């Protein structure tokens, strides 16, 4: 069987990839109390094959990066929790983590507290992203941001080690996405008005977030640096921990929020001009590159995303500015989400569904260019075959098909993904139980 473009090898910096099919970062909120779990190991190991590139889900650079205040951290000694046997919850002593109510189905919980509303709002936007999204499915589960993994303390490094080891043992390359979610999950941001579960989400808007002090911004940049170092330190048997990190500067999370003039009204050096709005991202990229080497750093962008009602006024300028900086630093890869996957309304979707909209970024960036968003096998082959992208990442298809590259090779049928289990806390169902080819 002749290999199609997606199945041809590729050299990314010093790393040899066996094919062009990448596992996109997909948060599954099954790392209880921010501690990576044994079932996370199984999930990633199932998807690891020789020469494959997997990008692990968004991992918080600090407790505050989960959208929690540091007061919570003082109450919940998250750093003292230890891994337990598979299937056990960590952090039952966390004051604001309730395994009995967090993650319950929205239809049952009634979505009746501020915190959940905030999460629900985030979920709603995510559900609308992508061309397979659909409000017709009415049984989403609310995640707790505390169940996203972290990379800010020693216990988390140790919990990541066996996972990194298992992926490396199967010959795959493993990057970890590092992230500060800003106001998306914030417990401090009431949203108003209250939205009905079945209702339209357009009338749901976050309240004004708390403005970061300059010193806090500097601390956040430092948190990115430390998280990157921690990722590289997640070493067990092999010479290195994660092969690198991906800085999450997309999808309306903190770094992306700064880029947008519609939400960034600062008058200091972090607001105003494109250069200023990009400053925190540039500082984070520079700090991480300095810490672990630019050849281990990828950056994720979604220039056209309007999550959290954040319209970008100058998305091309912003992305091209960042790409210029990335070129100067020698960043390994640039991972960009197609506009069709990030628009929240039908009108915008139609307007933005322009083929090859990312071409100016592809042309401008000197390193490896990864595209994402609504790709299937045929379109992925075309993107690589046309030179539009070096690599194509798959989120929903890869989470539902642990052997996606092999299925593409055989042009086999794909498992359908089950949206209702995207964020449920179950360690097996909808997570590690998607079948392999016979």
Instruction: Please report whether residue 25 would count as binding ligand FMN according to CB under 6 A.
Output: yes
Instruction: Please report whether residue 250 would count as binding ligand FMN according to CB under 6 A.
Output: yes
Instruction: Please report whether residue 373 would count as binding ligand FMN according to CB under 6 A.
Output: yes
Could you give phi then psi for residue 349, rounded to 5 degrees? -60, -45
Residue with tokens 């094919």, as numbered in its chain = 19
Q: What is the DSSP letter of 260?
A: -
Please state whether the peptide bond connecting residue 193 to the residue before it is cis, i.e. omega within 30 degrees of 0.
yes
Shortest distance, CB of residue 130 to ligand FMN, whole angstroms?
A: 5
Tokens of 91: 């952090």
Cα 83 from Cα 86, distance rounded (Å): 9
Instruction: Please report whether residue 30 would count as binding ligand FMN according to CB under 6 A.
Output: no
* Closer residue to ligand FMN, CB minimum distance, 151 or 397: 397
Residues 225 and 289: beta-carbon distance below 8 Å: no
Instruction: Please report whether residue 27 would count as binding ligand FMN according to CB under 6 A.
Output: yes
Hey, CA dihedral for 229, 233, 234, 239, is it positive or negative? positive
Query: Would you give the binding string for ligand FMN spanning residues 413-432, x where CB under 6 A is met?
Result: ---------x----------
Task: List the one residue from 63, 361, 394, 431 that touches ligand FMN (CB under 6 A).
Answer: 394
Q: What is the DSSP letter of 307?
A: G
Residues 89 and 33: beta-carbon distance below 8 Å: yes
Task: Find the part of the chain contacting ligand FMN (CB under 6 A) among 60-68, 260-268, 352-360, 368-376.
Answer: 368-376
Shortest distance, CB of residue 65 to ligand FMN, whole angstroms?
A: 12
Residue with tokens 């020469």, as numbered in its chain = 51
Cα 306 from Cα 211, distance rounded (Å): 20
Instruction: Please report whether residue 337 would count as binding ligand FMN according to CB under 6 A.
Output: yes
Instruction: Please report whether residue 53 would count as binding ligand FMN according to CB under 6 A.
Output: no
Instruction: Please report whether residue 362 would count as binding ligand FMN according to CB under 6 A.
Output: no
Instruction: Please report whether residue 38 would count as binding ligand FMN according to CB under 6 A.
Output: no
Instruction: Please report whether residue 58 would count as binding ligand FMN according to CB under 6 A.
Output: yes
Instruction: Please report whether residue 162 would count as binding ligand FMN according to CB under 6 A.
Output: no
Instruction: Please report whether residue 103 would count as binding ligand FMN according to CB under 6 A.
Output: no
Q: Which of 69, 61, 123, 116 is nearest to 95 (CA)?
A: 69
**Angle at alpha carbon of residue 228, lines to 226 and 234, rounded to 5°:** 100
* Closer residue to ligand FMN, CB minimum distance, 218 or 388: 388
Instruction: Please report whether residue 183 would count as binding ligand FMN according to CB under 6 A.
Output: no
Instruction: Please report whether residue 341 would count as binding ligand FMN according to CB under 6 A.
Output: yes
Within positions 112 to 141, which residues make up the interface with ligand FMN, using CB under 6 A?
Answer: 130
Cα 161 from Cα 235, distance rounded (Å): 6
Shortest distance, CB of residue 144 to ligand FMN, whole angstroms?
A: 14
Applying CB under 6 A, the site for ligand FMN has a residue count of 23
What number of other Cβ atoms are within 10 A of residue 428's Cβ?
14
Residues 60 and 180: beta-carbon distance below 8 Å: yes
Task: Find the part of the chain contacting ligand FMN (CB under 6 A) among 19-27, 77-85, 236-244, 265-273.
Answer: 19-27
* Closer residue to ligand FMN, CB minimum distance, 311 or 379: 379
Residues 228 and 162: beta-carbon distance below 8 Å: no
Cα 348 from Cα 381, distance rounded (Å): 26
Residues that bind ligand FMN (CB under 6 A): 24-27, 57-58, 130, 177, 248, 250-251, 300, 337, 341, 372-375, 394-397, 422
């Amino acid at each position: 069987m002749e290999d199609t473009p997606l199945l041809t090898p590729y050299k990314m910096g010093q790393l040899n990839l066996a094919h062009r099919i990448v596992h996109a970062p997909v948060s599954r909120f099954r790392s209880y109390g921010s501690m990576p779990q044994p079932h996370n190991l199984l999930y990633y190991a199932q998807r690891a094959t020789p020469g494959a590139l997997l990008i692990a889900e968004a991992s918080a650079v600090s407790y505050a990066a989960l959208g929690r205040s540091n007061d919570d951290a003082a109450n919940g000694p998250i750093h003292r929790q230890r891994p337990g046997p598979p299937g056990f919850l960590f952090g039952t002593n966390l004051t604001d983590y309730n395994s009995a109510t967090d993650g319950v189905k929205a239809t049952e919980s009634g979505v009746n507290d501020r915190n959940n509303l905030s999460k629900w709002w985030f979920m709603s936007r995510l559900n609308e992203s992508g061309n397979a999204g659909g409000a017709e499915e009415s049984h989403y589960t609310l995640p707790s941001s505390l169940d996203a993994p972290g990379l800010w303390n020693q216990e988390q490094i140790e919990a990541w080690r066996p996972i990194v080891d298992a992926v490396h043992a199967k010959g795959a390359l493993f990057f970890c996405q590092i992230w500060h979610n800003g106001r998306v999950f914030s417990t401090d941001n009431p949203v108003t008005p209250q939205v009905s579960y079945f209702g339209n989400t357009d009338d749901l808007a976050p309240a004004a977030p708390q403005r970061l002090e300059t010193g806090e911004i500097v601390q956040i940049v430092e948190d990115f640096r430390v998280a990157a170092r921690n990722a590289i330190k997640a070493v067990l048997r092999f010479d290195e921990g994660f092969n690198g990190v991906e800085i999450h500067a997309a999808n309306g999370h903190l770094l992306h929020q700064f880029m947008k003039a519609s939400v960034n009204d600062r008058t200091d050096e972090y607001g105003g001009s494109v250069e200023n709005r990009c400053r925190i991202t540039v500082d984070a990229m520079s700090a991480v590159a300095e810490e672990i080497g630019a050849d281990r750093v990828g950056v994720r962008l979604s220039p056209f995303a309007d999550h959290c009602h954040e319209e970008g006024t100058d998305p091309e300028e912003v992305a091209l500015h960042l790409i210029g900086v990335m070129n100067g630093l020698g960043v390994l890869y640039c991972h960009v989400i197609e506009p069709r996957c990030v628009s929240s309304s039908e009108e915008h979707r139609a307007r933005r569904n322009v083929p090859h909209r990312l071409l100016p970024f592809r042309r401008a960036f000197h390193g490896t260019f990864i595209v994402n968003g609504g790709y299937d096998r045929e379109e992925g082959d075309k993107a690589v075959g046309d030179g539009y992208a070096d690599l194509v990442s798959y989120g929903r298809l890869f989470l539902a098909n642990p052997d996606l590259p092999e299925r593409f090779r055989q042009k086999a049928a794909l498992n359908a993904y089950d949206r209702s289990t995207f964020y449920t806390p179950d360690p097996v169902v909808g997570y590690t139980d998607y079948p392999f080819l016979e």
